[in-house]
Chains A and B, each alone.
Chain A
Amino acid sequence: MKFINANTCPWKHAVGEDGPKPDPDPAPYRLLSLEQWHAVKDHWPAGIQVAIEFPNDADIQELAPDLHRIAMVVLDFPKWTDGRAYSQAHILRSRLKFKGAIRARGDVLVDMMQLLARTGFDEVVMRGDQSQAFAQKALDLFAPVGFYQGDVGETRPWFQRSAA
């Protein structure tokens, strides 16, 4: 899991003086909202990769035709107990075979690490008060044991692994 500091991260929002630009110019390291992406995707140059912030109440499968142009999908946790983005990440990885980065943002807490890692997230911007050391500890807790069901990384459930 990569722990990202939003301030030093190279991916930047396309913001003008009056807030988000409705139709941002193509440039590297653009972090676009889904609305911005809708506005630009038809004329966005093939060679410039983008990152997209995808809301947790839209159908992630809509990104399927564009995934080759997307370096990162940022999924949202408006509240940490709102678990929709876990399913979105799972679909991105397992079904849509997305190989870019999946980042969690919002109300992202230490105790979500295991769930995030197992559903396909590989980057997090944690809430400001969270400790990276605790997050790493949370990730390591079950490592010596493993889990019953398969996940995005280890697709085999325990009964398949132990039988192998």
Chain B
Amino acid sequence: MYQYTDFDRRFVHARAAQYRDQLERHLAGTLGTDEFRALRLQNGWYIQRHAPMLRVAVPYGELSTRQLRQLARIAREYDVVQDGPFKGQGGYGHFTTRQNLQYNWIPLDKSAEVMELLAEVDMHGIQTSGNCIRNITSDALVGIAPDEIVDARPYCEILRQWSTLHPEFAHLPRKFKIAVSGAAEDRAAIGWHDIGLQLKKDAAGEVGFQVFVGGGMGRTPIPGVEINAFVPWQQILVYIEAIVRCYNLAGRRDNLYKARIKILVKAEGQKFFDAVNEEYRRILADDNGGHEHIIPKAELDRVAACFVDPAGVAPVAEPVLDSSDPAFARWLQRNVDGHRVAGYRAVTLSLKRVGIAPGDTSADVMDTAAALADQFSHGELRVSHRQNLVLPWVKASDLPELFQAARAAGFATPNARLLTDQIACPGGDFCALANARSLPLAAEIAERYQDQDELEDLGDIDLHISGCINSCGHHHSGHIGILGVDKDGAEWYQLTLGGSDGTVLSGKTVAGKVIGPSFAADEIADAIDAVIETFKRERQAGERFVDAVRRLGLDPFKTAANAVRVSTAKAQA
């Protein structure tokens, strides 16, 4: 993992002190509510439906057990409702699709204290919200995947540092998200980001980035497009500076819904690419200090030295595991991934359980996960895009013991990539933006589909649920996507099929297509059932859901889903 230097540490403490000063001015009445809003957002503090929400960054998903225990402590001691209608609520965090952790119940007057506790373990909420460059995300298997071309972590860290409190890019037209993949398979959904970076090696073995720009979900889902096939790694900060400067100057600011870079890229196309490439050329040719952000080999080496394999990890012979226990065999197949190092595995600790919202993790569960990571994974965990935790350094010979421990702790649901490994935002239960609740629906689906044989038979299905068009639950990229919409104050759900996050299985990054008018809250789970039943009926041998949707088109699914509509919806259909 990246080791904070003295500079990094003083920096996050300075940021915490700056935030404390702003909070105190706000509480004293000298910093107005609107102005404090933009400042607290850039430290991860939202005001939500019932209480403030804090979003903590887990940069590129890497988490130490020391950090996770501190997150548990914050959940236990600060994320607690002392009185009022929600008394007793809290005590947990919610892992998001962008490798952040959100708390829902910390009182604002404790916020500065919490920032200082985070700083103690080299964490922060810097730029986890607001119209700035957000937390840099990556593949949960970064640095350990067998299909890795280049380890993305040192580049992610260099990008994190460069983007942190960048003075020119603190007030962009809209939020700006960067994701990096260094593997053959994109597991970081880079096509859905404002900038998606794919590490490559050219014919000479030199490392560079294929750069995509203009991806994004929201009201107008648009996959990113390639702006440059190969930017040498040394120049990547300069290239991103060029993109973000062009966007800062030319992005729309008259309409919130048209302010993302995707709209600019779509409107201007090649003209925007030309402007970026000219800006890049001029930074290097004309600007004072234009060469200073070319990354020297020494700096890459310094950062990369933090990401060496943990002491004691070395290739070992593959053990022969006794998989006669079907539950163990299924878990091996579902929740255990291959590893770059022979004799090692990456193990998914599933956070998708009946009765618990996807990604939600109580303080005790965090401590249990930390104990497992200490025992089996050299004190390191990963936060995945799918809202699970991953143990990255598990010896294959330890898998039977880990399975028993994970099962006892409730982490061993063998559902990775299956229907119940659903992605969901916190939705209308917590989020002030949401039109509809996502969690009751997620719970209903988790309850309906508990038969592991049935789930396994259905195979890989990405089910993504967003409570509103902000798309935090990535409904556009779900094979089945569900979007909460508000009609006359009631909750409705729009169903989309065939979306992709860009993985090999899901295919090219594409938004799902809507099948007909929205479903009422009491219809949507039946509509999903109908879609699944249609798949079971129409599929060819071995065919996966998303492939069947592409082969068959929407009509058979639409017909089946329409058939379950009850009175009101039928009238509108």
Q: Which residues of A contact B (CB under 8 A)?
A: 80-84, 86-88, 90, 93-95, 97, 109-111, 114-115, 118-119, 131, 134, 137-138, 141-142, 144-152, 155-160, 162-163
Contact = CB atoms under 8 A, between A and B. Distances in A.
Contacts of A111: 22, 31, 35, 39
A148 B164 contact: yes
B167 A118 contact: yes
Contact of A114 (B163, B167, B171, B282): B167
Interface of B: 7, 10-11, 14, 17-18, 21-22, 25, 30-31, 35, 38-39, 131, 161-172, 245, 248-249, 253, 282, 286-290, 292-293, 295-296, 298-299, 302
Top 7 A-B residue pairs of the complex, sorted by shortest distance between their CB atoms? A155-B289, A83-B171, A118-B167, A148-B161, A159-B299, A94-B287, A115-B167
Contact of B170 (A83, A93, A134, A155): A83
9 contacts: A80-B171, A87-B249, A93-B288, A94-B287, A115-B167, A148-B164, A149-B166, A151-B167, A156-B289
User: Which of B168, B170, B245, B296 has the most chain A CB atoms closer than 10 A to its own CB?
Assistant: B168
A148 to B, nearest CB: 4
A137 B162 CA distance: 24
A75 B288 CA distance: 21
Given A95-B286, A149-B166, A157-B162, A82 B171 contact: yes
Contacts of A109: 35
B161 A81 contact: no
Contacts of B167: 86, 114-115, 118-119, 147, 149, 151
Contact of B171 (A86, A138, A148): A86
Given A141-B18, A149-B162, A159 B35 contact: no
Contact of B10 (A119, A145, A157): A145
A163 B162 contact: no
B486 to A, nearest CB: 27
Contacts of A156: 289, 292
Contacts of A157: 161-162, 292-293
B11 A119 contact: no
Contacts of B31: 110-111
A83 B131 CA distance: 10
A160 B299 CA distance: 8
Nearest to B300: A159
A39 B249 CA distance: 25
Contacts of B172: 83
B135 to A, nearest CB: 15
Contacts of A93: 288
A21 B262 CA distance: 41
Contacts of B38: 80-81
Given A82-B171, A83-B172, A86-B168, A97 B288 contact: yes
A158 B161 contact: yes
B259 to A, nearest CB: 11
A149 B293 CA distance: 8
A162 B7 contact: yes
Given A82-B171, A157-B162, 13 more contacts: A80-B35, A83-B168, A83-B170, A86-B167, A87-B245, A87-B248, A95-B286, A109-B35, A110-B31, A115-B167, A148-B164, A155-B292, A157-B161
Contacts of A160: 292, 296
Nearest to B293: A157
B115 to A, nearest CB: 14
Contacts of B17: 141
A118 B169 CA distance: 11
B298 A163 contact: yes
A157 B238 CA distance: 12
Given A114-B167, A151-B167, A163-B296, A145 B248 contact: no
